[in-house]
Chain A
Amino acid sequence: MNDNSTYYTDLITRYFSGEIAEDELRLLSDWMKTDPQHLETFRQYQKTWQLIEKQNIQSKVDTDQEWIAMQAKMTAPASGYEIPAKVISLDQNRNRTAFSLQNTWKVAAAITILLVSSFLLYFLISKPTEIIVTAQAGNREQVLPDGSVVSLHAGSQITYPSKFASGTRKVELKGEAYFKVAHDKTKPFIVASGDARVEVLGTQFNVKTNSLSNTMEVVLTSGKVSVYYKEKPQDNVLLAPGEKAVLHAEKKQITKSSNTDVNYMAWKTRVLVFDNETLSQVVNTLQNVYQKQIILADAPLSGCRVTASFSDQSLESVLQVIKETLDLQVTQNGNRIELSGKSCK
């Protein structure tokens, strides 16, 4: 192939891409006229182009988006949006008028049917399906449509759409989960539980909801988070890393404090650190992490202090260590674990 044909192929490509200039257009036109072979070449490129565009067009056009855009343009002038139930024919002929009256009802009926069915179709097709993910026995990780990762604590559940609608990414939570939210300035990520909202842009944090006491606890690991009740978004609490917010549903109150519980994420990390911690606090943490009921049978034990750290240990191992250190007895009573003993050493 010589230089010449490359030049004209380039021209043809520019033409079909809409990039051609006026003078080039003339050049191309003249070139096509000089030789039927050139014309044939052009025709082949034209066909190629049309095939590509035909296949392309469905993916390029978002009918819903276009409909909305068009509606906006339509309502700008004063005309209201009414269903055209009246058809006016310019023909004054009486026969014609009688005919078009009958036609009017048919048209009105047809349009109504079309509207109703497209309305239904719209909901059937375009509404994103809801996904519910539940962690039953153990913890469970789930990747959300935007790339965010949610770690669900055993017994917790999240609900989210298969595709995040424009504007927000909303996830409903029951129980406890750790969120690693992907950055997206255009769509704030919102965790909802009842009327409470935790809004983030891109960050890592832990949310614990308790349906019995109707409370929600949010602890922020990194990033920035805004916590509020949906009726009063202006009364929001901003959290900085290391801070905790507790929400009380009945009073719709939000309290902020520094997070003192080092083990708030232990359910996920399986790392426990106790630094001169009271046994009652230790037991609380263990209950949360291992999902077992643990009680102190003897009152004085609550004041005992524990200093120990565990990494990925079973509850049995942890209790073994505590038992040895504090000289306690561990008894299993059905689903309950009891710790008993005299006062601490």
Chain B
Amino acid sequence: MLFRSHFAGLCYFAQKYVKDFESAKEIVQDAFISLWEKRETIDMERPVKSYLTMIIHNKCTNYLRDNRKFDQYILNIENLIDIPEYESSDSMVADELKTKIDMAISELPEKCREIFLMNRYENFKYQEIAGKLQISVKTVETQMSKALQHMRFRLAEYITIVVALIISFLSK
């Protein structure tokens, strides 16, 4: 079903806007439900995918507006003002890259890695991590920052490649 093949990819798409995974998931779910409720009136000949991305885009921008996490300029930089193209291939990552990422994560100092994984993989907020590990929120922030710097450094070659790919793709 549509759901199974696209859900994860759409979550990734929504997360580009709202950053918070749980909210992104909810938005995607609501989008599917919206689609379902309107099934009688939708022109099924148009690809459902683009309909979903449209709904999700709207819900996301509403969310950002409501939560005051809205900055026009940054949104523009991130290319999220107009609805970006959603490709299902978006959600697939080459094995080589995956290995590189895993390796980079394993290189992080223990506490740093733990905090990073708690935030990215287990979806805990800074406040929650600070509580669980009995450290200050500031420490969590610093460690997260260190982690991201390390990841940026280790994935440098992929960043430029990705940019090149995106540029070539966009110029088609």
A residues with a Cβ closer than 8 A to B are 6, 9-10, 12-20, 22, 25-26, 28-29, 32-33, 39, 42-61, 63, 66-67, 69-70, 73-74, 77, 79, 84, 86-90, 103, 107, 114-115, 118
Contact = CB atoms under 8 A, between A and B. Distances in A.
Contact of B155 (A32, A51, A61, A90): A51
A48 B155 contact: yes
Interface in B1-49: 1, 3-4, 7-9, 11-12, 15-16, 18-21, 25, 29, 32-33, 36-37, 39-41, 43-45
Query: What is the interface residue range for chain B against chain A?
Result: 35 or more
Contacts of B69: 18, 20, 22, 25
Given A9-B148, A59-B121, A79-B37, A51 B21 contact: no
B144 interface: yes
Interface of B: 1, 3-4, 7-9, 11-12, 15-16, 18-21, 25, 29, 32-33, 36-37, 39-41, 43-45, 68-71, 73-74, 77-78, 90-91, 93, 97-98, 101, 119-121, 123, 125-126, 141-142, 144-145, 148-149, 151-152, 155-156, 158-159, 162-163
Contact of B148 (A16, A57, A67, A86): A16
Given A52-B101, A57-B91, 6 more contacts: A9-B148, A16-B148, A47-B162, A52-B151, A74-B36, A103-B45
9 contacts: A12-B148, A32-B77, A51-B101, A54-B12, A57-B9, A63-B3, A63-B7, A88-B40, A115-B1
A132 to B, nearest CB: 31
B121 A60 contact: yes
B145 A6 contact: yes
A53 B145 contact: no
Contacts of A84: 39-40
Contacts of A118: 1, 4
A340 B104 CA distance: 74
Given A20-B69, A29-B71, A53 B29 contact: no
A47 B144 contact: no
* Residue in A42, A58, A103 with the greatest tally of chain B CB atoms within 10 Å: A58
B19 A15 contact: yes
B127 to A, nearest CB: 9
Contacts of B68: 22
A47 B68 CA distance: 24
A125 to B, nearest CB: 10
Contact of B152 (A48, A61, A103): A48
Given A29-B74, A58-B8, A9 B149 contact: yes
B19 A18 contact: yes
Contacts of B152: 44-45, 48
